[in-house]
Amino acid sequence: MNPMNPAHPMPFDTLTQDSYRQLEHAASLKGLLKPFKGKGELEHLAQVAREIEAQLCHLMVAVVQQAGQPPYSLLDIRLVLQNTSAGSTFLRWRTRDFARMGVAVWERQVRNNSLSQVVREGLHRFECERIALNLQMSVVHSLYRQASTCAIKMASAERLLRQFTTAAEISR
């Protein structure tokens, strides 16, 4: 099979609403926009954000697996998962030899005149999914970090209050 001009359009399973159904239920902002009564509620929010991150990662793996199928696997680019030092995962385009990375790698491939329109459109769908999933991962990871940080700050404030209350009781 020639990846530049496949004889038949390739099946492409985009991420559907069903793919997101569990995330949609878990990711309600209703739990975010309320008064937090203590560090436990913030820790719970951080835990929910971590669970959503894991689910997003599963969706990312599914996209990487689809992008690893012919005819895309025959091209000079790969869609890969990249773990960051901050603890999250993002989708990145890389050359087959891993020498270059980024959207410029994807752009160069899409501009290849010998690429068929069907493959070009498939690469476009992968890029749109990559952009959306990376946005979602970034937002959820930021929510996790903020909730975790706020839980630590709230615990510190609670400790200070207990210390002051205990010291005041002793001095009576």
Residue reference for tokens 């749109």? 128
Q: What is the pLDDT of residue 34?
A: 74
Q: What is the pLDDT of residue 7?
A: 47
pLDDT band at 9 (very low <50, low <70, confident <90, very high): very low
Instruction: Give kind and range of the element (H or E) at residue 80.
Output: strand 77-83
Cβ contact 10:115 at 8 Å: no
Q: What is the pLDDT of residue 20?
A: 59
pLDDT band at 5 (very low <50, low <70, confident <90, very high): low
pLDDT, one tens digit per residue, over 50-60 is 999 999 999 99
Phi, psi of 52 (to 5 degrees): -65, -40
pLDDT, one tens digit per residue, over 81-109 is 999 998 899 999 999 998 999 999 999 99
pLDDT band at 24 (very low <50, low <70, confident <90, very high): low
Q: What is the pLDDT of residue 3?
A: 55
Q: What is the pLDDT of residue 169?
A: 75
Range scoring the smallest mean pLDDT among 65-74, 127-136, 155-164: 155-164
Query: How far is residue 148's CA from residue 44's CA, in Å, rounded to a whole number?
Result: 9
**Gyration radius of the chain's alpha carbons:** 23
- By C-alpha distance, which of 101, 134, 107, 136 is closest to 123? 107
- Residue 46 identity (one-letter amino acid): A
Is the Cα dihedral 87, 91, 60, 64 positive or negative? negative
Average pLDDT score over residue span 1-19: 55
Query: How far is residue 41's CA from residue 31's CA, in Å, rounded to a whole number?
Result: 9
Average pLDDT score over residue span 53-71: 95
Average pLDDT, the chain: 86
Query: How far is residue 6's CA from residue 149's CA, in Å, rounded to a whole number?
Result: 51
Q: What is the pLDDT of residue 61?
A: 96
Is 58 exposed, middle or buried, given 0-12, 13-18 or 19+ CB atoms closer than 10 A?
exposed
pLDDT, one tens digit per residue, over 139-152 is 999 999 999 999 99
Is 6 exposed, middle or buried, given 0-12, 13-18 or 19+ CB atoms closer than 10 A?
middle
Q: Which residues contact 46 (CB under 8 A, 6 or more apart)?
A: 144, 147, 148, 151
Query: How far is residue 172's CA from residue 141's CA, in Å, rounded to a whole number?
Result: 47
Partners of 77 in beta bridges: 95
